[in-house]
Amino acid sequence: MKKEVQVHSLFSDFDISLFRAGKHYRLYEKFGAHILEVDGEKGVYFAVWAPSAKSVSVIGDFNYWLEGEHPLNVRWDESGIWEGFIPGVEKGAKYKYKIHSSIDDMKLEKADPYALKCEHPPNTASIVWDLEYKWKDKKHMSSRKDKNSLSSPYSIYEVHLGSWRKNMDENRSLTYVEMADELVSYVKEVGFTHVEFMPIMEYPYDPSWGYQLTGYFAPTSRFGDPQEFMYLTDAFHKAGIGVILDWVPSHFPEDKHGLGKFDGSNLYEHPDPRKGYHPDWKSLIFNYGRNEVRSFLISNAIFWLDKYHADGLRVDAVASMLYLDYSREDGEWEPNEHGGRENLDAISFVRDLNTEVYKSFDGVQTIAEESTSFPMVSRPVDLGGLGFGMKWMMGWMHDTLEYFKKDSIYRQYHQNDITFSMTYTFTENFVLPLSHDEVVYGKKSLLGRMPGDDWQRFANLRLLYSYMFTHPGAKLLFMGAEIGQYEEWNYNTSLDWHLLDYEPHQGIKKVLTDLNKLYKTRPALHEKQFTADGFEWISYDDSQNSVLTYIRKGEDPKKSLVVVCNFTPTVLKDYSVGVPHSGKLKEIFNSDNEKYGGSGIKNKSIKTKKESFHGRDNSAEITIPPLGCVVFEIL
């Protein structure tokens, strides 16, 4: 016997027109399951988009999962939206949509694309929930425009929540609430300005690390409920730390309960497999040319910034979206209308996304993980760019790691590898990433890549981080890098926290803590990190000694810093360096400091000489420690 489903709608005619035009960016306020009171009765309003359906029923634990007990009503306006109010359904109820398709008479059971909470995988039902929460981050939200600006320090700690630290007594990952204590205090201690979570949206398959999403509007139930994730974000904000979320609009999995063939048709994915199927990841690609799909995706991005107070979105796999021939052979892709390889629909979508994000929120950033030379990724849309705030500098990452893995005796022949990034570093607003992708699949950990004996390996790692933090651009380090992890990352196990019982690993953590402090407190390292007038070479051609010397500059030229890097284990004494002006050189950072595990070779105050060197009127003679980076201020 069919139960009463009351005719009710949250959609106005204007909502429908925006949705169909691809311009409705708050669809989470309309679609999904909403706890309401209608005509004095409490219950839940359901709405789902399924234009190829003959009928849609809500099935759940409140009706014994029986089809037809609660049929939804299709709207008269040909929008393809099915909706209705079901009295008596309460928060916590489990449900799905039973869709009877007009295509091949298929019957499908689908999770709600707009569900606010999902069952803990491997279970797949959606859960009626709300987003009621009393935020306590007013101070952070009101000041984050300054904290997140391109002229502010931006040091990111990338985290996989399931494997950062385990509760060893119970052999489980920490909960959101536990992380609000342990993770927040740790990130603050080491001094990162931001934390970036690998995808926390619900995903069915642990080995995907979260990059194959099925619950786009639900934080994963693995670690707690939505309010507990809000509590974690709130805790970071109260500690003055920004929260960036990895976001995946590039592809989605084929799981039966997910978005694929949602109503029997290619509703969310592109119907042409040349544009709708990803051969590398064996997943489906969104149809960026379909207006309703664009509304879904942009609404999802806005949702996490709006309801969860995220400070930024790192957009995954942007290159795969931009190019029709991405990971495809000749004959496996079709050129665009101009005969090119660019995906014009995806480019248009990305521009709309960034335009809406920056229009709607002060003090947020979108960051592109984009690995090609596509132009103007982090330039404004109105200037012809894609509109991202920043872009990962994949070339720097590749060249730098290739250079560092070489034995120091051979580095003199590869000086260009370590200097080449400066030929293009100001073409975009770059983030220097040493991410999770660099410590998996046989690539070794960062420490494991370093050559030489144990002392040299740790010295090389300290030098790598020092070079990174004094190079222009924002910074990103994957968890474990700060303790000198020996092993590659394993999503199933905790980081090797016991390593901090040993001094060399303590030294890595200390050097990163001090580098974060240096980056945050010295304006020369962040005020002009994305502009060419914030950097100046002193010398990049001393390949024989494998030495680089350069100046970092902020708004005040008197507060410029001189950076010297020695990429060999040879101590260089009485090394002449041209300096920008006369005065005394004071060493303010030295990666060879004994407290980091270094040899303790350092410089006392050095008075400059009125002797020309490196094309400058003033110079100084310094000592450069082995495999060391030294930073000076001139007083």
SS3 512: helix
β partners of residue 247: 315
Report the pLDDT value the prediction gives residue 336, as an integer from 0 to 100: 93
Q: What CATH number should be reported for the domain holding residue 117?
A: 2.60.40.10
Is the link from the previous residue into 122 a cis peptide, with omega within 30 of 0? yes
- 611 belongs to a structural domain: yes
- Which one of the listed residues 112, 292, 311, 316 is annotated catalytic? 316
- 2 belongs to a structural domain: no
Segment holding 404, helix H or strand E? helix 394-404
- 484 belongs to a structural domain: yes
- Which one of the listed residues 158, 196, 234, 369 is annotated catalytic? 369
Distance of CA 14 to the CA centre of its chain: 34
Q: Are strands 117-118 and 81-87 parallel, antiparallel or unpaired?
A: unpaired
Report the pLDDT value the prediction gives residue 3, as an integer from 0 to 100: 59
Angle between helices 176-190 and 503-521 (to 10 degrees): 80
- Burial class from Cβ neighbours inside 10 Å (0-12, 13-18, 19+) for residue 207 reads exposed
Are 483 and 546 in the same domain? no
Are 496 and 359 in the same domain? yes
Are 537 and 511 in the same domain? no
- 369 as an active site residue: the answer is yes
Are 328 and 429 in the same domain? yes
d(CA 334, CA 341): 8
- 146 belongs to a structural domain: no
Q: Among the three residues 469, 504, 525, which one is the final residue of a domain in this structure?
A: 525
The token pair at 527 is 């005020």
Q: What CATH number should be reported for the domain holding residue 290?
A: 3.20.20.80
Name the residue range of residue 403's domain. 151-525
Q: Which of 86, 77, 83, 93 is nearest to 17 (CA)?
A: 77
- 492 belongs to a structural domain: yes
Question: For 48, what's the count of Cα atoms within 13 Å in the CB-facing half-sphere?
Answer: 30
Are 485 and 359 in the same domain? yes
Are 263 and 411 in the same domain? yes
Alpha helices in 194-290 (DSSP H): 226-238, 273-276
Residue 129: how many other CB atoms lie within 10 Å:
20
- 5 belongs to a structural domain: no
- 1 belongs to a structural domain: no
Report the pLDDT value the prediction gives residue 1, as an integer from 0 to 100: 39
Low-confidence ranges of the chain (pLDDT < 70): 1-3
DSSP letter for 174, please.
Answer: P
d(CA 346, CA 216): 19
- 225 as an active site residue: the answer is no
Q: Are strands 628-634 and 561-566 parallel, antiparallel or unpaired?
A: antiparallel
- 3 belongs to a structural domain: no
Are 540 and 519 in the same domain? no
Segment holding 172, helix H or strand E? strand 172-173
d(CA 624, CA 592): 9
Are 581 and 453 in the same domain? no
Q: What CATH number should be reported for the domain holding residue 590?
A: 2.60.40.1180
Are 520 and 536 in the same domain? no
Report the pLDDT value the prediction gives residue 171, as an integer from 0 to 100: 84
Question: For 336, what's the count of Cα atoms within 13 Å in the CB-facing half-sphere?
Answer: 14
Report the pLDDT value the prediction gives residue 265, as an integer from 0 to 100: 97
Q: Among the three residues 484, 509, 525, which one is the final residue of a domain in this structure?
A: 525
> How many domains are there within the chain?
3
Which residues have C-beta within 8 Å of that of residue 285, sequence separation ≥ 6? Answer: 250, 251, 269, 270, 275, 276, 277, 278, 320, 321
Q: Which residues of 300-312 are buried (b: 16+ CB within 10 A; e: fewer)?
A: bbbbbbbbbbbbb
Distance of CA 41 to the CA centre of its chain: 43
Q: Among the three residues 467, 492, 525, which one is the final residue of a domain in this structure?
A: 525
Are 492 and 397 in the same domain? yes
Residue 48: how many other CB atoms lie within 10 Å:
23
Q: Measuring CA to CA, how many Å separate 368 from each of 132, 422, 461, 622?
A: 31, 20, 26, 40
Are 229 and 354 in the same domain? yes
Are 565 and 456 in the same domain? no
